[in-house]
């Protein structure tokens, strides 16, 4: 074709048709009886190098910021109930040691040896520590000993 002349329309159509067929054949493969399937694409590769980015994290936090502790093992523990205050029951001399020992055994779950020891000490010295319990239980024991057995006792806070 001479320079400066427009190509003939049939030549232009042929070139366009050839271009169209070549791109279509690249994108699809023909197999079987006229079934057209997309051509198998190349397996995508994973990018292994990240592009350089400017850091958006400041070098240090302003002094006015406080960062709370968002994870603490203490938070995972069940909330423990505070230990209830403990009270002591003191037995005062109230009759003979046998009477006091029997009363202690009837009211308070004690070993026989412990009840006899507490009653003997109260009979000799004038008073004896029976035990230490929570306030409600200690007051119940004291009331039962006073009412049912006429035994003098005291409930006081253990320190």
Query: In whole angstroms, what is the distance from residue 54 CA to residue 126 CA?
Result: 85
In terms of C-beta distances under 8 Å and separation of at least 24 residues, what long-range contacts does 115-120 make, across chains too?
118/91, 119/91
Task: Dump pLDDT digits (tens) for 65-84.
Answer: 666 666 666 666 666 678 88
Nearest alpha-carbon partner for 106 in 51, 61, 68, 147: 147
Stretch 56-72: mean pLDDT, rounded?
Answer: 67
Q: How confident is the model at residue 102 (pLDDT cuts 50, 70, 90)?
A: very high
Q: Is the pLDDT higher at 119 or at 38? A: 119
pTM (predicted TM-score): 0.51
Stretch 33-57: mean pLDDT, rounded?
Answer: 65
Q: Is the pLDDT higher at 132 or at 3? A: 132
Query: In whole angstroms, what is the distance from residue 110 CA to residue 107 CA?
Result: 9
**To the nearest whole number, what is the mean pLDDT of the chain?**
79
């Amino acid at each position: 074709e001479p320079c400066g002349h427009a190509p003939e329309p049939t030549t232009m159509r042929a070139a366009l048709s050839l271009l169209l067929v070549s791109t279509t054949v690249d994108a699809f493969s023909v197999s079987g009886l006229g079934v057209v399937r997309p051509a198998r694409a190349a397996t995508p590769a994973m990018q292994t190098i990240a592009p350089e980015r400017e850091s958006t994290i400041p070098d240090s936090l302003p002094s006015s910021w406080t960062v709370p502790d968002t994870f603490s093992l203490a938070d995972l523990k069940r909330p423990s109930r505070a230990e209830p205050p403990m009270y002591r029951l003191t037995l005062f001399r109230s009759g003979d040691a046998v009477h006091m020992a029997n009363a202690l055994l009837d009211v308070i779950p004690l070993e026989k040896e412990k009840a006899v020891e507490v009653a003997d000490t109260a009979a000799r010295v004038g008073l004896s520590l029976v035990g230490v319990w929570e306030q409600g239980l200690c007051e119940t024991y004291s009331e039962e000993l006073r009412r049912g057995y006429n035994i003098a006792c005291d409930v006081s806070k253990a320190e």
